């Protein structure tokens, strides 16, 4: 909705600040749609009031923790840009913002899989199915890496061409983009650790690690931005993201003995490593332009990944997903 409104406003001749209005309208529309959908899906909760004092206390404590995590996450997302604006010029802030937005695209596969599988993970946890939860966590993390790691390395291999999409001069942020992508790669490799904590009653532990990451981020930006500019901001943010997710992975293992690592976990790294090596070789001998090398990278990655194969857990999950989809399609057709 945001994209459609922005394009429509600009096409109708409105000024650039109208994009802010478009964004506000999109957020408002999403909020209204969410409320209507909630009332439709959960009609019994529409007029339900919690009267038990203990339930109220637990609900309030959980809500405060989740809201605090959200606030600290927002603060962490803006710390680098704000501090860069304080220490450096607005031109550098613009270049860095383009690199940061591009680097965030790497984690979209994780965002998508979180939306799909986190509720299932929570259900398995409260049903006591820890073995199935462990299997699901490993498979989803691997799928996240399969989709996200080639995007990450495509940005690393072709940072100039990627940032030129924003216009001339933005390629100055190529090293910042590379550093940010490396931080997001750690984010992909740890999987849904934040949700595993918040959805299983360990939201306070997640809040603690988020607070540590924010403090670390501020300190690193304060030290590195005056020395290295946008590259310093990128290194600070990348280290903070990696540190946050590694801390949470440690917590998940400490509480539940869950981790994403098995022998199939490293297959996406191996596939993207082989593909990157071959593309770097092509670049070194001057073989083709980037628009030839990028499709080649994706094709080589897909072939290597197919040769390496997948686990039995993945095959069983895909079979189960196909069966569920078949049942749903039959019910829709009968309806």
Q: At what angle do helices 18-41 and 2-11 cross, to 10 degrees?
A: 150
Q: What is the dihedral of CA 183, 186, 187, 193, to 10 degrees?
A: -140
- The confidence score (pLDDT) of residue 257 equals 94
DSSP state letters, 154-176: HHHHSHHHHHGGG-TTGGGGHHH
C-alpha span between 101 and 95 (Å, rounded): 10
pLDDT digits (tens, 9 = 90+) for 306-323: 888 877 777 767 666 666
Higher pLDDT, 38 or 222: 222
Which residues, including other chains, have CB under 8 Å from residue 311's CB and lie 6 or more apart? 139, 142, 262, 264
Give the mean pLDDT of 147-173.
Answer: 90
pTM of the model: 0.83
Average pLDDT over residues 196-220: 94
pLDDT surpasses 50 at 332: no
pLDDT for 195: 92
* Residue tagged 């500019």 (tokens): 229
Contact 46, 39 (CB under 8 A): yes
The number of CA neighbours under 13 Å toward the Cβ of 2 is 8
- What residues does each domain of the chain span? 1-43, 58-259
pLDDT interval class at 169 (50, 70, 90):
confident
pLDDT at 33: 77
Distances (CA, A) of 11 to 5, 6, 19, 65, 265: 10, 8, 11, 43, 46
Q: Which two tokens stand for residue 327?
A: 């049942």
Cβ distance 283 to 160 under 8 Å? Answer: no
| pLDDT tens string 84-137 | 999 999 999 999 999 999 999 999 888 888 888 888 898 999 999 999 899 899
Place of tokens 């490593």: 273
pLDDT at 181: 95
Tokens standing for 150?
Answer: 């080639």
Question: Of 17 and 152, which is predicted with more confidence?
Answer: 152
Task: Tell me the pLDDT tens digit for each residue of 10-58.
Answer: 556 656 566 666 667 777 777 777 777 767 766 665 565 555 555 567 7
Q: What is the pLDDT of residue 51?
A: 55
* Mean pLDDT rounded to a whole number for the chain: 84
For 285-301, the pLDDT digits (tens) are 877 677 777 888 888 89
């Amino acid at each position: 909705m945001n994209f459609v409104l922005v394009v429509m406003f600009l096409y109708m001749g409105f000024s650039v600040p109208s994009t802010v209005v478009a964004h506000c309208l999109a957020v408002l529309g999403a909020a209204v749609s969410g409320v209507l959908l909630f009332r439709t899906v959960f009609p019994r909760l529409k007029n339900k009031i919690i009267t038990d004092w203990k339930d109220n206390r637990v609900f309030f404590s959980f809500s405060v923790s989740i809201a605090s995590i959200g606030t600290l996450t927002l603060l962490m997302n803006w710390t680098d840009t704000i501090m860069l604006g304080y220490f450096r010029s607005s031109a550098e802030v613009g270049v860095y913002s383009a690199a940061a937005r591009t680097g965030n695209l790497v984690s979209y596969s994780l965002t998508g899989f979180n939306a799909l599988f986190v509720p299932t993970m929570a259900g398995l946890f409260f049903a006591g199915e820890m073995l199935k939860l462990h299997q699901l966590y490993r498979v989803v993390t691997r799928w996240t890496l399969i989709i996200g790691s080639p995007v990450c390395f495509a940005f690393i291999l072709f940072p100039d061409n990627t940032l030129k999409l924003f216009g001339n001069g933005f390629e100055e942020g190529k090293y910042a983009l590379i550093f940010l992508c490396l931080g997001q790669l750690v984010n992909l490799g740890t999987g849904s650790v934040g949700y595993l904590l918040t959805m299983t009653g360990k939201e306070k532990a997640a809040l603690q690690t988020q607070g540590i990451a924010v403090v670390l981020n501020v300190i690193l930006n304060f030290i590195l931005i005056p020395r290295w500019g946008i590259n310093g901001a990128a290194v600070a943010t990348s280290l903070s993201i990696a540190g946050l997710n590694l801390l949470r992975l440690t917590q998940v293992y400490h509480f539940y003995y869950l981790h994403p690592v098995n022998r199939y976990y490293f297959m996406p790294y191996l596939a993207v490593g082989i593909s990157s090596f071959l593309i770097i070789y092509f670049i070194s001998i001057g073989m083709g332009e980037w628009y030839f090398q990028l499709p080649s990278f994706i094709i080589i990655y897909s072939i290597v990944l197919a040769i390496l194969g997948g686990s039995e857990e993945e095959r069983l999950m895909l079979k189960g997903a196909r069966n569920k989809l078949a049942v749903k399609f039959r019910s829709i057709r009968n309806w």
